[in-house]
């Protein structure tokens, strides 16, 4: 089978100011590291090198893999590191939804101990998901336990920055994995070295992950084509949703109420993998928040959802950035299958909105991921359109 040349490269030497805009969350432990090691020193992101040091020590590596401008990238790598030409099977490139496709590989000079390397890989999304959820899935599937995890912005791109350790051929390694989402593309900058020498290369790896740039900006933040829903009645319901989802408007609602259901369904369209129920309730009806929440639970119970028990709402408040005045999270079953139900109520001038998300927790993690992501989009759009 013919192979595609891994990348077309152009090397440019120029100083680049490394910029870190924000760092919002840091979670980590020191499990697996030697005593006295500060784990944050292994993943530096600021005060790395001066402009003069960058000019002296680094090149700005520009890569256009497979001649595709949508994969063109750049990052800082040391001048004396080896640029390794790689080849990729065309089938791997065509199935980028199934596995990471390698884009570039840089190795430390020959004779350096610990196998230090910097590589960039790419994965294509066919469903709209949140980056944090996607990284959760990747770490779990790879059986990695994060030593440190950050979310924030490096060089104007949202990132998930993770340190993991692993053993390969009897040697312990530390790997820094930095993920960013660009529309339907996820890029991973992976930097690794043997644990015994990793700290020696930590700033070099920091320069690579922070300076990484995707050349072709996405026209949209979403992985899928999006549609707009706008009703004509009061209360207003206006939001975006993925074109892969099916929409169904509620029938014969009384004046002062509106409703819509959207769902992601299996290929046979019989099974809903993720389901979102949206209602608008006018304040003129005089319904209390408690009544609205009770009716939301009743809606799902009448659809065959069995309530098992309440779950901690911490996850709900961490996921949903849009304002809401009351929320509940439930462990439920649907046809005996363990599932999760999230309920929130939003308050706007003259009306409430009530939203429910039902996701199947077994068998299809991407259904849960896209369900939560679309739920967040809908809640945020409803809040924004109310202004």
Q: What is the CATH number of the domain that holds 195?
A: 3.40.1000.10
Q: Please say which residue of 188, 214, 240 terminates a domain.
A: 214
Least confident range of 141-155, 281-295, 352-366: 352-366
Query: Residue 332 falls within a domain, yes or no?
Result: yes
Residue 298: strand, helix, or coil: helix
Query: Residue 272 falls within a domain, yes or no?
Result: yes
Query: Residue 280 falls within a domain, yes or no?
Result: yes
Asked whether residue 235 falls in the same domain as residue 202, the answer is no
Give the pair of three-digit tokens for residue 137. 């899935």
Query: Taking the CA atoms of the chain, what radius of gyration do you get in angstroms?
Result: 24
Asked whether residue 122 falls in the same domain as residue 252, the answer is no
Asked whether residue 83 falls in the same domain as residue 163, the answer is yes
Asked whether residue 24 falls in the same domain as residue 113, the answer is yes
Asked whether residue 112 falls in the same domain as residue 186, the answer is yes
Asked whether residue 151 falls in the same domain as residue 43, the answer is yes
Tell me what the mean pLDDT of segment 331-353 comes to: 95
Output the domain CATH number for residue 310.
3.40.1000
Is 70 exceeded by the pLDDT of residue 22?
no
Asked whether residue 241 falls in the same domain as residue 199, the answer is no
Asked whether residue 48 falls in the same domain as residue 16, the answer is yes
Q: Please say which residue of 185, 214, 243 terminates a domain.
A: 214
Percent above pLDDT 70 for the chain = 89
Which pLDDT value is given to residue 364? 74
Asked whether residue 161 falls in the same domain as residue 263, the answer is no
Query: Residue 124 falls within a domain, yes or no?
Result: yes
Contact of 6 with 80, CB cutoff 8 Å: no
Q: Please say which residue of 193, 214, 235 terminates a domain.
A: 214
| Band (7; pLDDT cuts 50, 70, 90) | very low
**Beta-bridge partners for 125:** none
Query: Residue 221 falls within a domain, yes or no?
Result: no
Range of the domain at 284: 226-385
Which pLDDT value is given to residue 365? 83
Query: Residue 219 falls within a domain, yes or no?
Result: no
* The 73-78 sheet, strands edge to edge: 8-12, 58-64, 73-78, 213-214
Query: For the chain, what is the domain count?
Result: 2
Query: Residue 240 falls within a domain, yes or no?
Result: yes
| Band (11; pLDDT cuts 50, 70, 90) | very low
Tell me what the mean pLDDT of segment 235-241 comes to: 97
Which pLDDT value is given to residue 90? 82
Is 50 exceeded by the pLDDT of residue 112?
yes
Asked whether residue 119 falls in the same domain as residue 255, the answer is no
Which pLDDT value is given to residue 6? 31
Q: How far apart are CA 371 and CA 17, in angstroms?
A: 39
Q: What is the DSSP letter of 47?
A: S
Asked whether residue 208 falls in the same domain as residue 92, the answer is yes
Is 60 exceeded by the pLDDT of residue 262?
yes
Average pLDDT, the chain: 88
Query: Residue 220 falls within a domain, yes or no?
Result: no
Least confident range of 18-27, 192-201, 210-219, 361-370: 18-27
| Band (269; pLDDT cuts 50, 70, 90) | low
Q: Which residues contact 255 (CB under 8 A, 6 or more apart)?
A: none
Using one digit for the tens of pLDDT, what is the confidence trace for 140-181? Answer: 999 998 999 999 899 999 999 999 999 999 999 999 999 999
| Band (35; pLDDT cuts 50, 70, 90) | low
Which pLDDT value is given to residue 228? 97
Asked whether residue 63 falls in the same domain as residue 111, the answer is yes
């Amino acid at each position: 089978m013919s192979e595609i040349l891994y990348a077309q490269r152009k090397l440019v030497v120029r100083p680049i100011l490394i910029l870190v805009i924000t760092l919002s969350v840091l979670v980590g432990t020191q499990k697996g590291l030697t005593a006295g090691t500060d784990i944050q020193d292994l993943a530096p992101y600021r005060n790395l090198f001066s402009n003069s040091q960058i000019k002296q020590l680094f090149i700005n590596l520009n890569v256009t893999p497979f001649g595709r401008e949508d994969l063109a990238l750049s990052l800082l790598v040391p001048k004396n590191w080896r640029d390794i030409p790689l080849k990729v099977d065309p089938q791997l490139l065509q199935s980028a939804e199934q596995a990471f496709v390698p884009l570039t590989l840089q190795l430390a000079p020959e004779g350096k101990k610990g196998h230090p390397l910097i590589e960039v890989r790419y994965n294509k999304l066919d469903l709209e998901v949140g980056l944090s959820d996607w990284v959760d899935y990747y770490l779990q599937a790879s059986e990695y336990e994060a030593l440190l995890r950050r979310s924030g912005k490096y060089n104007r791109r949202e990132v998930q920055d993770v340190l993991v350790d692993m053993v390969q051929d009897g040697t312990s390694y530390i790997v820094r994995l930095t993920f960013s989402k660009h529309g339907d593309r996820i890029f991973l900058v992976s930097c690794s070295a043997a644990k015994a020498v990793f700290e020696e290369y930590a700033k070099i790896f920091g320069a690579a992950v922070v300076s990484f740039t995707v050349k072709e900006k996405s026209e949209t933040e979403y992985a899928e084509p999006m549609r707009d829903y706008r009703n004509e009645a009061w209360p207003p319901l206006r939001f975006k949703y993925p074109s892969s989802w099916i929409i169904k408007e509620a029938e014969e609602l009384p004046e002062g109420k509106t409703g819509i259901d959207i769902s992601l369904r299996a290929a046979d369209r019989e099974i809903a993998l993720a389901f979102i129920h949206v209602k608008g309730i006018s304040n003129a009806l005089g319904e209390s928040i408690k009544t609205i929440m009770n009716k939301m639970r009743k809606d799902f119970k009448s659809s065959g959802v069995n309530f098992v028990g309440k779950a901690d709402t911490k996850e709900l408040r961490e996921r949903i950035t849009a304002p809401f005045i009351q929320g509940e999270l439930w462990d439920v079953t649907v046809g005996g299958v363990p599932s999760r139900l999230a309920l929130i109520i939003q308050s706007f001038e003259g009306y409430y909105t009530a939203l429910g998300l039902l996701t199947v927790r077994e068998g299809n993690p991407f259904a849960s991921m896209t369900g939560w992501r679309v739920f967040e989009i809908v809640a945020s759009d409803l809040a924004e359109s109310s202004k």
